[in-house]
Amino acid sequence: MTVITYVRGDATAPQAKGVKIVAHVCNDLGGWGKGFVLAVSRRWPEPEAAFRRWHRERAKNDFGLGAAQFVQVEPYVWVANLVGQRGMRTGRSTGVPVRYEAIDAALVRLADKAVELGASVHMPRIGCGLAGGSWAKVEPLVLRRLVERGIPVTVYDFGD
């Protein structure tokens, strides 16, 4: 059975052959400027520009919790902007912004795109950084939506 591969490294430098999708979780406010997105923007400007345009034009598109946007950044690399976070954590906020049901819905869209492209999926522990989520709750969603469909998934833990 296919499993999630865990590695130390940078998810914006996916280690695999063939088509790769780098997936991460975004908020539903259109904010982009903290966490993993900074690494994405350092490597490729297109995902941030596409995300901001998607949010700005949301009255005419599918932007919202559970949506997914796919941006091709290299001939064999795509970035998936997955909207799985309601708002952002602030000094005054209570609770966490992560929305597991939205991540689950976005993962279904990601799986469909990965199958269409014949791609592997590469990600940090989505929803578990600034979104405040628990990997114990996200991992089963990744297993159900991606791994059970035969999609190779690599999760990157940054650092040594």
Rounded Cα gap, residues 76 and 93, in angstroms = 39
pLDDT of residue 19: 98
Tens digit of each residue's pLDDT (9 = 90 or more) over 43-101: 999 999 999 999 999 999 999 999 999 999 999 999 999 999 987 766 665 678 899 99
8 pLDDT above the threshold of 70? yes
The pTM of the full predicted model, rounded to 2 decimals, is 0.94
- Evaluate if residue 147 carries a pLDDT over 60: yes
Q: What is the mean pLDDT of the chain?
A: 93
Separation of alpha carbons 105 and 114, rounded Å: 15
Structure tokens at 48: 């941030």
Secondary structure (3-state) at 15: coil
Rounded to the nearest 10°, the torsion over CA 45, 49, 50, 55 is 150
